[in-house]
Structure formats: structure tokens, C-alpha cells
Amino acid sequence: MVSPAIALAFIPFLMTLIIRYRHYFLLFWRAVILRKIQDYTTGLSREERAFQYVMTHSIPGDLENILSTFDTWCYRSEYLSNVGPEKGKILERLISETVPLTVLELGTYCGYSALRMARNLSLSARLYTVEMDKGNAAVAEKIIRLAGFDEDMVEQIIGPTDEIIPQLRERFGVDKFDFVFMNHWKRCYLRDLQLLEDYDLLQEGSIVVADNVIFTGAPHFMQYAKSCGKYSWKIHRTHLEYFRHIRDGMAELTYIGLKGGT
């Protein structure tokens, strides 16, 4: 049994630990503990609760208002792993600079990042967004249509990314993607990037943007991107969505194809 004197000696250490990592403890509270409590008491998923808030407090068709309402809920109520406003602006800038005609999003979640990308696309462009979770996909579909985007601009595809990617050319008539945004399971980043390569869905100059490469990180994906010789790359250092004290980053890869291997 630990003596009181020994237990007291650990108090300063524990206090230092809590203070130093308080933002991570807060993230754990909001993302895990609070979510479970609210799931139990409301009978709704966190994503459904966010949708109810957006429906109640936003203006249909007003994209900026819908995004800011999402952000308000995430700052003040519960945590959602949207791309968030800081990284969202980077994503929008990259879309505006590259002017893609075909865009693929892996991980629709609640539709937040799809809205940010879609509003910067030309009228002739098309965004295909893939979501595995049917509940999240239902929320995203409502949010995307609430913002005023139809299926000619934003088409949602429901299913696992490793099943959908091989079907994109035959089923959806896509030849190549100019821009790809990855914001799904980090462990799937590398697998899905290689699937895009294997099915010849990238062309020289295609941009691949991957979120959360610092927190929680995607080390195998980044190691491959840096060493395979098929990409030039850079990291946009930012912060975790809705937590300005937790460092994060987005990877921007530019596909150069086999030229990089020679």
C-alpha cells in the first residue's frame, strides 16, 4: 500500500502533467466523455445533434452562415472532427489556386469540408465525396442540400473507400482527379493513395491534400509520399480544428508520376 507521504510527493508531478497537457485532456473530455454522455441522454448521435443545431440556427442557402453555425457549435458545445475554419481556409485557397474540374473527397463526415470546397469550384466542376458511415452520410446529404448544392455539383457516394475507388472510372465516368482531399481514417491514407495510383486516377499536377498529418498523424503515408519519388510535397502547419493550442498540419502533395523515380 502506498504511504500518504509518497502519494503527496506525486501531487506536484500530477499537477504539472495536468497543466501541461490540459488541452489534450479537454479534447478527450469533449470528444469522448461528453459525447458518450450526450449519446446516452439524447438518443442521438453527435453528428445528428450538430445537424439539429445547424437546422435551428442557420439560414438555408446562406453558406457562410451555415459554416459559422457549425463552427459555433463545435467551439461551444461538442467537438466534431471537421476540417475547421483555419485549415478550411487553406483548403479553399488551394482549390481556388488550382481550379480543379474533378475533385474527390475521402471522408465526407458531416459535409463541412465539402461545402468549403464546393463554393470555390467553377460551375463546370464536380465534387465526388465518399463516406462510409451511413448515419454521417445522411447528415452530410442534408447539410449539402441545405447549402444549395445539387447533385450536379456535389455527388455523395456511400461506401468504404477501398471499394469505391476501384469503381470510380467505370461507375461514375471519372478519368482523372485534379484534386483529392483526404480526411477519413488516417490508417487508410496510404492504402487509398496507392489505390488512386493503381487505378490511374491521378495525372501529372494532381493535388492530394491530407488532413491531420501531425495530430493524430499519418506516418506511413508521409514516409511513402516523401520517399516514393512520385510526389513533391509540403506541410501546412496549423492547429487542430477548434483547439488552437494543439498543433496539427495538412500535407499538400503534387503528383509528378514516374518522372520522380528517374
The pLDDT, as a whole number, for residue 262 is 38
- Fold adopted by 84-261: Rossmann fold (3.40.50)
The pLDDT, as a whole number, for residue 257 is 83
The pLDDT, as a whole number, for residue 147 is 96
* Residue-averaged pLDDT of the chain: 93
The 8 Å CB, 24+ separation contacts for 135-142 are 135/45, 135/47, 135/48, 136/47, 136/108, 136/109, 136/110, 137/108, 139/47, 139/48, 139/50, 139/51, 139/110, 139/111, 140/108, 140/109, 140/110, 140/111, 140/114, 141/111, 142/51, 142/55
- Residue 215 pLDDT grade (very low, low, confident, very high; cuts 50, 70, 90): very high
- Determine what percent of the chain is predicted with pLDDT higher than 70: 92
- Residue 260 pLDDT grade (very low, low, confident, very high; cuts 50, 70, 90): very low
Strand partners, 127: 103, 154
pLDDT at residue 149 above 60? yes
The pLDDT, as a whole number, for residue 261 is 42
- Asked if 118 contacts 127 with a C-beta cutoff of 8 angstroms, the reply is yes
Cα–Cα distance measured from residue 80 to residue 82, given in angstroms and rounded to the nearest whole number: 6
Q: How far is CA 111 from CA 107, 188, 245, in A?
A: 9, 19, 25
Q: Which sequence spans correspond to the domains of the chain?
A: 1-43, 84-261
pLDDT at residue 248 above 70? yes
pTM (two decimals): 0.93
pLDDT at residue 7 above 90? no
Q: Which three cell numbers stand for residue 40?
A: 446516452
The pLDDT, as a whole number, for residue 17 is 63
Torsion of CA 212, 214, 217, 221, to 10 degrees: 90
Q: How far is CA 206 from CA 103, 122, 202, 203, 218, in A?
A: 10, 17, 6, 5, 20
pLDDT at residue 107 above 70? yes
The pLDDT, as a whole number, for residue 12 is 72
Q: Are strands 177-182 and 154-158 parallel, antiparallel or unpaired?
A: unpaired
Tell me the average pLDDT across 201-229: 97
Tell me the average pLDDT across 127-138: 97
The pLDDT, as a whole number, for residue 19 is 73
pLDDT at residue 14 above 70? no
Q: Tens digits of per-residue pLDDT, 53-74? A: 999 999 999 999 999 999 999 9
- Residue 21 pLDDT grade (very low, low, confident, very high; cuts 50, 70, 90): confident
pLDDT at residue 93 above 50? yes
Q: Tens digits of per-residue pLDDT, 153-164? A: 999 999 999 999
The pLDDT, as a whole number, for residue 185 is 96
Please name the residues in contact with 58: beta carbons below 8 A apart, sequence gap of 6 or more.
65, 66, 69, 146
pLDDT at residue 110 above 70? yes
